[in-house]
Amino acid sequence: MADISREVMTKKRIVLLTDCLADLAGGAEKQIFELARGLDKNAYEVHVVSLDCYGQASVELIESTGSLLHTFRVVRVYGLSGLIQGLRFFKFLKNNRIDILLTYHFSSDMWGTFWGHLAGVKTIISNRRDMGFWRNGLHIAAYKLMNHWVNKIVTVSASIKDLVIKEEGVAAERIEVIYNGIELDSRFRGNDNRSFGNDNSPFGSDNRHLSQELRNQLERKRNDILIMHVANLKPVKGHYYLLEAFAGVVTQFPDAKLILVGRDELDGQLQNLAQKLNISDKVVFMGKRENVKDLLVLADICVLPSLSEGMSNAILEYMLAGKPVIATNVGGNPELVRHDFNGLLVEKENVQQLKEALLKLLGDKDKRRVLGQNGFSRVKSEFSMKTMLEHYCLMFKDTPRNIKILHLISSGGLFGAERVVLNLASKSNGITSFVGAINNLHNPHLEIIEEAKKLGLKTIIFDSKRKFDFGTVDAIKKFIIENKIDIVHTHNYKADIAAFVATRFTNAKWVVTNHLWHSTDQKLRFYEMIDAFVSKFAQKVVGVSAGIKQDLMRKGLKADRLVVIDNGIPIEKFDHQIRNESRRSSLGIAPADCAVLIVGRLSAEKGHEVFLKAAAQVVKNVQNVKFIIIGDGPLREKLKEQARHLNLSVYVIFTGILEDMPAVYALGDILVNASFAEGLPMTILEAMASRLPVIATDVGAVGEVIKDHVTGILLKPGNDLQLAFNIIELAKSKEKRQRLAQNAYQEVTKHYSDSRMAERYKEIYFSALK
């Protein structure tokens, strides 16, 4: 009995607070119900609290999950009922010794956070579940005020996280992205789920009869192609644009039929529009339905042309049903729909794009099947209810302690090492990260600080007046002491040397990441010799490739202090970009041109001179081609002169430094990395995530990432003829470009995500502290 009592006493007591539980078909309400049901009741005591009503969410339904339901009827959170019910809620929190309070929707966020803070709840977690299309300046100001009392904010997509950082000024490390989960249904198998009572139907016999009944209601004929949109009929869901696009589709596909499922909140306006467009006989308004899954099994194409979205449960259900999806490129949609992988993305309010996407899928049954299968596989692996629950449980667990880390770099621009720092600092959940830059006043580069601020990260600048400034070291030391920094994590030789000295006078531990030693001249070799010596005193030294680890061991570092961690990138940031032809045109790239990109600092080790020599051979064999050189550096003028000398001026475009790299990769058809020395290049990983075929020199860790002629093409450094041959081959073969790009995307998604990298580094941090 004593053991049981101890077990009960150690349960975490959680409140899930929402404005209203009237309709469990709603996104947030459904997720609350599933969270309440899924949390282990041996570990958690769960209370579901509704401010206004519970409607369909009866006491019996909620308590069937093993949770308790409570209602505090608040008419206005700022009115008398808000005060009276707030005092009741305060007492409830105290009496039940609530450990964690999760709030959903604006009223609950405000009211619940206020009373939860007064009651001394240890952990308050607020939710942001949409892109805030309803919010105005007062809402944002209220959130900014209440955020001081919130320990963590959960967003259901990375795009909402970015919005919260931008509008509310919340630091990135306080925000946790947890995607909505969906209960996997054994009836769906991800194949072509159209059911005509055949043996391949994903349903059993009872469901086949039900589907037949639904087909009768839809007046469906065997050859009909059903386009389905599941959402209540209201302006934000984009029905107007869908009807206009559909009107342009039925002239080419008379067997197409549009099914609209959802409660009519527009008083018949859409029905009138369908009549005006002469498509009333092709559009079926189903109204609100409880059997959405039975309807989805009959669909051929599913659409969501919303003007704003958070994380769409409708898209998750489409994917679970194995259906190809056409969705607008808003909110969390592109995190669910990867363009041309499990669906097509279009810009919001763009009738022409929506029409073209519909025509593309209506005319290609095989493509519909492949996109649907890809979506089904993805929802199973990434968006299951089990995955969502695991993320919540990890968040609820106590972090050993809030570690503080200073990432320190002496930056020369926004290149690979800088992007690793930003990705790592953004993904280190449970860790407070500072992005620090040594500002060399003789050659200032603070791009990493500017980018860190955009991401909502904490930043600090240490000015340096000379090659090595003891004043800089002293400033770093003071910052470590004043901010109680646990670990200084450095990312190049000048930062390494400064941290080596500064940490001698503090209790902070020191971790080094070696991205690459270039050794291109005598001066750099001298610096790297010093770097190798001081790195021996670090608690841990990370190499971004096995080759770098071997190099460090040859320099005398002990194997037990060395570890290899692959660089990681935010896959979702790169994998949904749509080609912008107007931007290509503004750069001088014609629609028919094959654009060959090279990205990096314009310096000798990056191989731009070899790239231009290869270009001179390519233009003799390929008519429509452009070579885009992205970046800046000391060789800029020399390279321009080389391009003129090789008669390449009309073919080569120097863009300088560009900031929006996902959009940049979307401009290209091929990426080239011609470097003589590399660690693990971020540009290659980013291009692979962007489904851009890569030709790269086999240096550093490149050969560990790229499998020759499988996920890209490898060549020897300095060989301009071999490079030219491979560019010509890919420029002439779109099929090979697509095959390499798809294989590369699968490889980078599996092995090189920033989340995976961050978890590996977190292990290193805890090890260093021990």
CA–CA separation, 262 and 291 (whole Å): 11
pTM: 0.53
Q: Strand locations in 528-614, DSSP E?
A: 540-543, 562-564, 594-599
Cα distance between residue 494 and residue 508, in whole Å: 18
Q: Once rounded to an integer, what is the mean pLDDT over residues 759-770?
A: 84
Higher-confidence residue of 570 and 248: namely 248
Residue 532 CB-half CA count within 13 A: 20
Tokens of 222: 């065997």
Classified as helix, coil or strand, 263 is coil
Which CA distances in Å does 607 have to 491, 521, 757?
Answer: 23, 16, 28
Residue 245 identity (one-letter amino acid): A
Q: How far is CA 83 from CA 97, 114, 127, 329, 579, in A?
A: 21, 11, 23, 42, 53
- Band (pLDDT 50/70/90 cuts) for residue 54 is low
Res 259: pLDDT: 94
| pLDDT tier, 409 (very low <50, low <70, confident <90, very high otherwise) | very high
Residue pair 114/124 in contact by the 8 Å Cβ criterion: no
Instruction: Decide: 597 and 668 in contact? Cβ < 8 Å.
Output: yes
Average pLDDT, the chain: 86
pLDDT on residue 103 = 95
What topology is assigned to 205-382 in CATH? Rossmann fold (3.40.50)
pLDDT score, position 135: 75
Averaged pLDDT for residues 476-500: 92
| Nearest by Cα to 108 from 170, 37, 16, 26 | 16
- Give me the percent of the chain exceeding a pLDDT of 90: 50
Of 342-351, 423-432, 508-517, least confident by mean pLDDT is 423-432
| Nearest CA-CA partner of 606 in 544, 684, 547, 495 | 684
The whole-number average pLDDT for the span 596-625 is 94
Total Cβ atoms within 10 A of residue 84: 13
**What tokens does 36 get?**
């309440």
In this prediction, residue 2 has a pLDDT band, given cuts at 50, 70 and 90, of very low
- What is the structure's pLDDT at 254? 93
What DSSP assignment string belongs to 599-660? ES-SSGGG-HHHHHHHHHHHTTT-SSEEEEEE---TTHHHHHHHHHHTT-TTTEEEEE--S-
pLDDT in tens, 420-450: 899 889 876 668 899 999 998 888 889 999 9
How remote is the C-alpha of 655 from its chain's centroid? Answer: 27
Planar angle of CA 584, 590, 592, nearest 5 degrees: 120
pLDDT per residue as tens digits for the range 696-712? 999 988 998 999 999 99
CATH number of 403-568+757-769, picked from 3.20.20.30, 3.40.50.2000, 1.10.1660.10, 3.40.640.10: 3.40.50.2000
Give the lowest-confidence range in 80-94, 395-409, 413-427, 653-667: 395-409
pLDDT of residue 466: 81
What digits encode the pLDDT tens for the residues 120-155? 888 999 999 877 766 788 889 999 999 989 989 999
Give the mean model confidence (pLDDT) for residues 549-553: 86
Residue 646 pLDDT: 96
- Whether the pLDDT of residue 211 is over 80: the answer is no
- What is the predicted pLDDT for the residue at 628? 96
Q: Give the CATH number of domain 579-752; options: 3.30.360.10, 3.30.70.260, 1.10.510.10, 3.40.50.2000.
A: 3.40.50.2000
Tell which wins on pLDDT, 503 or 769.
503
The confidence score (pLDDT) of residue 751 equals 85
Maximum pairwise Cα distance, the chain: 88
Q: Tokens for 394?
A: 């990890």
Query: Is the pLDDT score of 669 beyond 90?
Result: yes
Domain with CATH 3.40.50.2000 in the chain: 8-177, 205-382, 403-568+757-769, 579-752
The CATH number of 8-177 is 3.40.50.2000
Q: What is the DSSP letter of 507?
A: S
Return the CA Rg of the chain.
29
386 phi and psi, to 5 degrees?
-60, -45
Confidence tier at 171 by pLDDT (50, 70, 90): confident
Residue 207 has pLDDT above 60, yes or no: no
The rounded distance, in Å, linking the Cα atoms of 92 and 696 is 63
Confidence of residue 525 (pLDDT cuts 50, 70, 90): confident
What residues contact residue 660 under an 8 Å CB cut-off, 6+ apart? none
| Among 1-10, 89-98, 218-227, the least confident range | 1-10
Please give the full DSSP string across 58-127, using - where no structure is assigned.
-HHHHHTTT-EEEE---S-TTSHHHHHHHHHHHHHHHHTT--EEEE-SHHHHHHHHHHHHHTT-SEEEEE
What pLDDT was estimated at residue 214?
Answer: 61
> Lowest-pLDDT range, 202-216, 354-368, 530-544?
202-216
Does pLDDT of 345 surpass 90? yes
